[in-house]
Amino acid sequence: MTTQKTETSTPPKPAKKGTGIMSRVVAAAVACSALGCPGTQVRPPPPPEPCPSGAVEAMEARGIETGDYYGAQFLVERTQVIAVKDGATELRLIGKWKRMPSGTIFSGRLTVSDRVYGRFTRARTPGGESFPVCLELLAEGMEKGLERKPGDDSPTSARVFSTGEVRAVREFE
């Protein structure tokens, strides 16, 4: 006597929407981990460049010599972590710096990289006087550029603390 086995087959479950996309994302992540794919691309710091014409003389006329530094803050009301991006920006001088009055505004550019680098080339006093400067942005400990804070891994924007130091330089290195 021959007995036949009957297989009970269950119909396949329909795939959940998006499962294919998720499996591809997971597969790509696993492949990158195994192959060593690069992470977030970090741009290099800005290249060396000269100071604006007359900047060193204008700073010296106000008693500020190369290497001098002083506190400055982005144009926010209180110290805090803020979002910044590549491009034009301004800082406000915190207090009087030799013969440069408190509240002087420094205009320049930020470059987002492994840190946020700032170069400031123009000053405008509260009285309206404007003149060239050559100032670079420093973090506490006199390290060039501000430390990036967690929360923004973009190559062109970052989160930083709103205060730092500006140092007078003869050229941007």
Q: Number of folded domains in the chain?
A: 1
Give the rounded percent of residues in the chain with a pLDDT score beyond 90: 72
Residue 83 lies in a domain: yes
Q: Give the torsion sign (CA, 132, 136, 137, 139).
A: negative
Give the Cα separation of 139 and 116 in Å (integer): 10
Question: Tens digit of pLDDT for each residue in 60-84?
Answer: 999 999 999 999 999 999 999 999 9
Q: Is residue 29 part of a domain?
A: no
**CA 139 and chain centroid, separation:** 12
Note the pLDDT tens digit of each residue in 20-66: 444 444 444 444 444 444 445 678 889 999 999 999 999 999 999 99
What is the rounded CA–CA span in Å between residue 75 and residue 79?
10
In a domain, 37, yes or no: no
Residue 88 located in a structural domain: yes
Is 18 a member of any domain? no
Domain that holds residue 105: 49-172
- Could you tell me if residue 14 is inside a domain? no
Please write the tens of the pLDDT for every residue from 116-132: 999 999 999 999 999 99
Nearest-angstrom CA–CA distance, 115 and 172: 16
Q: Quick check: is 10 in a domain? A: no
Confidence check: pLDDT of 4 > 80: no
CATH number (domain holding residue 82): 2.40.128.260
pTM strictly above 0.85: no
pLDDT over 70 percentage in the chain: 76
For the cut 80, the answer to whether the pLDDT of residue 171 exceeds it is yes
Is 82 a member of any domain?
yes
